[in-house]
Structure formats: C-alpha cells, structure tokens
Amino acid sequence: METKTKKSAMDFKIKGNWETQAKALKKKFPELGESDLKLEKGKEMELVSRLAKSLNKKTEEVINIIKKGQIE
C-alpha cells in the first residue's frame, strides 16, 4: 500500500490556477514565502517538497491540502 501512495505522489499534478491556489495557501499558512510557493512547470514535486519542509508536514499531507483547494 505504501508503494501505491508513493507512486500516486510522484504522479501528482497541479490543476487549475496555481496563482489563486497559492494565495489561498499563503492566507491559510502565513509562514509561507513567495519562494515556497513558486511553481515551475513539470516540477510539482519540488514545490510539494518545499511546502512540506516549510510546514513541517509529510508529502502526502501537503498533496491532500493542495488537492482540497484545486479547481477542477
């Protein structure tokens, strides 16, 4: 089961408008800086890793937080 979680995390893609989502994350987590929220195309997992480190959360937790805020 852990392998499935890791695989789905590696396949994670940001959907919707990232700028809007980043603003919402910044509002919810004021400790995040602009550099924490910078998204480069195709580098979603780098973003997730930075957020996990800054928020002191696991990768899966950060992915779930982002997914909850995504606009389909």
Statement: residue 13 has pLDDT above 70: yes
Q: What is the rounded CA–CA span in Å between residue 23 and residue 7?
A: 28
Both tokens of 63, joined, read 């992915």
* Distance from C-alpha of 14 to C-alpha of 43, rounded to nearest angstrom: 10
* Distance in angstroms between the alpha carbons of the first and the last residue of the chain: 27
This prediction has a pTM of 0.81
Judge contact between 63 and 7, C-beta under 8 A: no
What digits encode the pLDDT tens for the residues 24-52? 999 999 999 999 999 998 899 999 999 99
What count of residues does the chain have?
Answer: 72
